[in-house]
C-alpha cells in the first residue's frame, strides 16, 4: 500500500492516528460511486459501486469501528446501497460538519477519533476537522490538499475497500 509520503515518520503518524479511530464517515457520490449517474427514460437513476467494498466494511465492523454515510443527495439509491451494506446513512444533508459532530457524539467519540472520506468541496469542512481526512484519487482539485491520505483507487472503483484495508492493516500492526 503506497502512502502519500512514504517515509517512516509519515507511516508512524498514520499508525498513531488510526490507532485512535472509532468512526469512519463516508460521503457517497464519488466515494462509493464513480461520481456518474445513469438517468433512465422514466427519470430513475442508477450509479456504479464496487462490490469489493462490502468485504472491507465488514472487516472494519469486526474491529469495532463504527461507520456512517453522510450525503447531500436525496436519491433512494444511496439508502438502498447503505441498507445492503448495513451502514446507517444520513441523506439530504446540507451541513455535513454539524451532522458529523452529532454522529460522533452519539457514538461516544470525538472528531479526533474520526476519519472522513470525501471527494468534493462539500466535504471540505469535514476533511478539515477530523483526525484522518481521506480523499479519493479522482477528488476535485480543490480538496486534494486536505487529505492526509489519497487513495490509489478512484471513487466507485475500490476506494472504500482501500481505506478499509488501510485502517485494518494499520490497526493490526499496532496490536
Extents of the domains making up the chain: 21-136+151-174
Angle between helices 76-85 and 53-62 (to 10 degrees): 50
At the topology level, CATH places domain 21-136+151-174 in Rossmann fold (3.40.50)
What is the number of residues in the chain? 175
147-166 mean pLDDT: 97
Contact 131, 153 (CB under 8 A): no
pLDDT (tens digit per residue) in 80-131: 999 999 999 999 999 999 999 999 999 999 999 999 999 999 999 999 999 9
Going by DSSP bridges, is the β-strand pair 45-46/38-39 parallel, antiparallel, or unpaired?
A: antiparallel
49, three cell numbers: 459501486
pLDDT (tens digit per residue) in 28-80: 999 999 999 999 999 988 999 999 999 999 999 999 999 999 999 888 999 99
Q: What is the pLDDT of residue 162?
A: 97
pTM, whole model, 2 decimals? 0.93
What pairs with residue 66 in β-bridges?
23
135-156 mean pLDDT: 97
d(CA 136, CA 154): 6
Amino acid at each position: 500500500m503506497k502512502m502519500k509520503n512514504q517515509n517512516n515518520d509519515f507511516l508512524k503518524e498514520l499508525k498513531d492516528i488510526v490507532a485512535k479511530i472509532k468512526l469512519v464517515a463516508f460521503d457517497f457520490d464519488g466515494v462509493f460511486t464513480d461520481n456518474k449517474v445513469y438517468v433512465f427514460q422514466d427519470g430513475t437513476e442508477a450509479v456504479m459501486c464496487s462490490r469489493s467494498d462490502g468485504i472491507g466494511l465488514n472487516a472494519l465492523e469486526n474491529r469495532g469501528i463504527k461507520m456512517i454515510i453522510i450525503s447531500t443527495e436525496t436519491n433512494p439509491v444511496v439508502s438502498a446501497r447503505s441498507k445492503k451494506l448495513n451502514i446507517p446513512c444520513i441523506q439530504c444533508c446540507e451541513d455535513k460538519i454539524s451532522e458529523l459532530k452529532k454522529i460522533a457524539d452519539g457514538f461516544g467519540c470525538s472528531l479526533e477519533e474520526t476519519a472522513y472520506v470525501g471527494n468534493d468541496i462539500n466535504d471540505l469542512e469535514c476533511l478539515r476537522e477530523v483526525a484522518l481526512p481521506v480523499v479519493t484519487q479522482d477528488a476535485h482539485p480543490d480538496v486534494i490538499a486536505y487529505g492526509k491520505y489519497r487513495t490509489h483507487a478512484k471513487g466507485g472503483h475500490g476506494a472504500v475497500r482501500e481505506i478499509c484495508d488501510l485502517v485494518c492493516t494499520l490497526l493490526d500492526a499496532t496490536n
